[in-house]
Structure 1
Amino acid sequence: VRDLLDFLALSNTNLLAASLGDLREWLAHLVENGASSATLARKGAAIRAFYAWATEAGKVEVDPAARLITPKAANALPKLLSEGQTARLLEHAKKVASETGLPQDLRMWAVCELIYACGLRVSEATGLNVSDLDLSQRIVRVIGKGNKERIVPVGKPAAAALQLWIVQGRPPLLNAAPAGKAPTAALFLGQRGGRWDPRDVRERLHRLAAQAGVPDIAPHGLRHSAATHLLEGGADLRTVQEILGHSSLQTTQRYTHVTTDRLKSAYRLAHPRA
């Protein structure tokens, strides 16, 4: 709404006196300035909601945004790594951690293994407490979007990395907290002993990918890679939905196009009448 207000001010048009034509000109202005379809869809939805309220509240007589059409946001997946590329990334993280033994390297190896093993969002991983992890049962309790709780299995490589982080890497960072500050229950700690910042995880993962010689990847891409590899390995959609914490199965179905493309490729190469 602020963005639209600024645009209308250029022509001295009042926000509550804007016409459908004014709104369309604003969208065209956004396109000219490089706005993506996702941005147009989001801003268009905000304007439609605003004018629906303004009409109901009696601020405007006719809703100018009622017939405002915006392009649908592209339902594209982030970049994915193949199974081989993912293995190379994680093996490199393990190699660095083993060679240096530094807390930050042990932490990076552990968080990468955990995000991939459990398909976690980076905010979910950094939001974990030590008490949420049960290495004896190899499960983790995750609080996801909408404060929804789920229990996710933890694979053996991730469990090994986490065990090393908790025993060797976490204590030095816990001791780095300022004097007098109560110890944090967070599983992953930052350099000053507080909860690790998700932005730092992203920055370090970009660097790690470059060092490992794999395509650039963000934590969310690692989560999507986990989902795709689960489906390719034969997991059913409901299982993947539960692991990822999706509220709708439709969200999980986005991954099927990736596996279907590979299925078609194999079919074309193998079937005599493909």
Structure 2
Amino acid sequence: MEKQPLAVVTMAYNETVLLPIWLRHYERQVGLEHCYIIDHGSDDASTKNIRANIIRLPRTPMDEDARAAAVRDFCSALFLGYNRVLYTDADELVVPDPNVSPTLKYCAATQNLPRVLTLFGVDVVHVAEEAQIDLSVPISHQRQFARPISTLCKPTLIAGRIDWMHGFHCITGHHRPSFGDIFLFHIAHCDIDILYERQKKRNATAPIGLQHSHHTITPDVFVNHIRSEVALLPRRDVQMRKGEPHFERTKLRFSDAIERKDWSVEPDLWRIPARFAGAF
């Protein structure tokens, strides 16, 4: 029997709001039989009665290094049956450029892709004139803007064992990103009310061993900071296509930052191109 094209993996804890969105999205992309959820001790019923593959772990203190190692080992085991594996957090929706392919399955059939493909990551934001999100409708029909951030450009579409650093932002050792036509839309900030409740959960499960983690900021302070920052950012139309000068310059700047194990953020909000409407 031939290997399957692509498995998608996440690790989740009490993701009542975002996990259903993750499941709907990746069901369209690869099918639920190829989705794997490592449940880190959820007690809110969020991982009950779902058709994806569930791996249940007891709840332990949140250790980002141990989490990265556990995900690495699990993803490595999946290469017994899959050509490629994609790891995402529960608040990350990954799509190919709609002009290239309607689903991610084409990645495993494309011979010239690198062993590690870095996703181009953007933070979907809630601007003041937009209504509260309706999670029964695609987010891309309700949110207009996103902010590219190098730390969301994750090297998590892989064709072999990879040693990730905590947060899955970088790989251990020297690595310069190879970008393809794959985009990561980070949706944790797509709605102020969702962000507030998510930050409350983060406060209760802040990781050990990481000083000054954003998980420890109180919800009021965190939400007010995000709201104020978004309100001040200029807006720019960028089509996010290969060859577009501003897009290519941003990718180059982000590649330099990632190679240095540093970070970079775009000073503007980019309008989400119309071709992504309905894609996530």
Q: TM-score range by the shorter chain?
A: under 0.3
Q: Say which structure, 1 or 2, has more relative contact order (CA 8 Å, 6+ apart).
A: 2
- Normalising by structure 2, what TM-score? 0.25
Greater fraction of residues in helix? 1
Higher strand share: 2
Tell me which structure has the larger Cα radius of gyration. 1
